[in-house]
Amino acid sequence: MNEYYGYGNTSASSSSSLNSSSHDTEDDHTIAAMLAEDEKSRYDGKLGKRLSHLDSIPHTPRVISAIPDPNDATLDHNTLAQRMTTYGLAEMQMEGDGNCQFRALADQLFQNSDHHKYVRKHVVKQLKRHRHLYESYVPMKYRSYVKKMKRLGEWGDHVTLQAAADLFEAKICLVTSFRDNSYIEILPKDRSPVRELWLSFWSEVHYNSLYQAGEVPTRKHRKKHWLF
């Protein structure tokens, strides 16, 4: 216990902290370099053109209210699957470990869902730095909310999606299982998006990364998925 809190060996703790800080800086630089490759190039909008006939609804950031019961969840999943077929889309399955929203964003941004930790870290930074943009949507103490979102395995919500849209200058397009609203667009505030990120949203249960049918990239197989 003492070793965990750094009471036992101050020099070792300082060294560990320094190494962690250095590692975080390297991670930041790596992500910045990856994003810079297409930072100012316009997205090609393939999926956007395919679904241009859909009307999106205004997006209001919100936290997760309640998880649907198993029967509703099953119906919602079936609705989403039917929409995938109708729209000619396919999902890349993300692990069901509580990080699925950040995994799906990482897959769309970096073609690697393993970067979910870094996406979460930067989204949390966005929440901290621009508190005035998001606090009114959070029905709890804001510091507690941000602290909660910092933890791996904590489910992302529509507030973190808005923060991600603002941070990465992205239009986040959700194809959902909602019965009345099949498509939601989340736009960055006060700026034009430079990329599109496409996610499926099995409401309050799971997020996956979206591609055109037949164009889902081959990635390393994951052990745990949300599958019916």
d(CA 110, CA 115): 8
Q: How far is CA 188 from CA 34, 127, 140, 194, in A?
A: 20, 14, 24, 10
97 catalytic residue (yes or no):
yes
d(CA 45, CA 102): 21
Q: What pLDDT digit, counting tens, does each position of 95-124 carry?
A: 989 999 999 999 999 999 999 999 999 999
55 catalytic residue (yes or no):
no
Q: Which residue has the tokens 């505030």?
A: 189
206 catalytic residue (yes or no):
yes
Task: Please say if the pLDDT value at position 18 is more than 90.
Answer: no
Q: What pLDDT digit, counting tens, does each position of 137-185 carry?
A: 999 999 999 999 999 999 999 999 999 999 999 999 999 988 778 899 9
Task: Exactly one of 27, 28, 72, 97 is catalytic; name it.
Answer: 97
Task: Exactly one of 76, 100, 115, 173 is catalytic; name it.
Answer: 100
Domain ranges (residues) in the chain: 1-37, 46-212
158-167 vs 100-110: helix crossing angle, rounded to 10: 20
The verdict on domain 46-212 having CATH code 3.90.70.80 is yes
DSSP state letters, 182-213: -EEEE--TTS--SEEEEEEEETTTEEEEEEET
> Could you tell me which residues come within 8 angstroms of residue 118 by beta carbon, excluding any fewer than 6 positions away?
27, 28, 31, 106
Which stretch of DSSP H or E encloses residue 92?
Answer: strand 89-92
Considering the entire predicted model, what is its pTM? 0.74
Task: Please say if the pLDDT value at position 37 is more than 70.
Answer: no
Q: What pLDDT digit, counting tens, does each position of 195-210 carry?
A: 999 999 987 789 999 9
Task: Please say if the pLDDT value at position 58 is more than 60.
Answer: no
d(CA 196, CA 50): 13
